[in-house]
Every structure is written in C-alpha cells, then in structure tokens.
Copies of this chain bind each other. A is one copy, B any other.
Amino acid sequence: MTDAPPRMTKQRAAVLTVLKQGGFRSAQDWHDRLRHDGSTAGLATVYRALQALTDTGDVDTVLTETGETLYRLCEAREEHHHHLRCRACGAAEDIDMPSIEGWAASVGAEHGYSRIDHTVELTGVCSDCAKAGR
C-alpha cells in the first residue's frame, strides 16, 4: 500500500522542462515562463507540481528575506547541501561543508537542545551580474 506515485501529466512535464532553464525562481516566475512558452497551465497547478517535486526531492527550495519561496531543479539528489545563490539572476552553486552537520549537532547538544535542524544559505552577486552592473 505504498502511496501511488503521481501521474506524469502534460503540465508536470512542462514544469520540469522550464525548470531545466536553471536557477532559483519563484513559483510565479516559473509560471510566467511557462505561459511565455505557450503552456496554458494555471498558477495553482504550478504550485502543486512544485510542491510534489519538492516532496519527492527532485526540487530544492529556499526562502528569501521577504518570505517568498524559490524553487530550483535539484540535479543530484545528495545527502544534504547548501547553496550560494545570486541575488540578481537566481543562479546558484551547490556548496558543501560537511563539518557544518556535526557542528550543528554538537552546538545543540552543548546547550541541551535536541532534534537540531539547521539552515545555512549564502547569497551574493555572481560574476556575470557584477559585470553587468547589477
């Protein structure tokens, strides 16, 4: 009785296609790109698809300082990693810092905290955007 995997519909395929453009973008941004490419998918459908893809681990999410959620196709489903994201164009690099994991757990334990979770995000301006004066 494993829950059935969601069906691959035209709309979901279209979402996956635009996601291949890369970069972290908002749901509404991805929706705009989809419409621009001729898709008639509704905004709610895009949200649902992104949510589903996030649940299955195919998409990474990040929150901005304004509370918006940004989504990006997650090429390699690895352990757990962090991001260095360009604030101007949404491009991102995967960063790994293995020592963070252990550090978080030990700092938590030192203070008597359990069930530690952590968030590490880096943002900046990539070289292309810097050249373009962003």
Contact = CB atoms under 8 A, between A and B. Distances in A.
B122 A118 contact: yes
Contacts of A112: 126-127
A121 to B, nearest CB: 5
A84 B97 contact: no
A97 B99 CA distance: 13
B107 A122 contact: yes
A122 B130 contact: no
Report whether over half of chain A's contact residues are helix, strand or loop; otherwise say mixed.
strand
A117 B65 CA distance: 12
Given A65-B63, A84-B113, A95 B124 contact: no
B125 A104 contact: no
A116 interface: yes
Contacts of A84: 107-108, 111, 113
A115 B107 contact: no
A92 to B, nearest CB: 10
Contacts of A69: 67
Contacts of A121: 118-119
Q: Which interface residue of A112, A121, A130 has the most chain B CB atoms within 10 A? A: A112
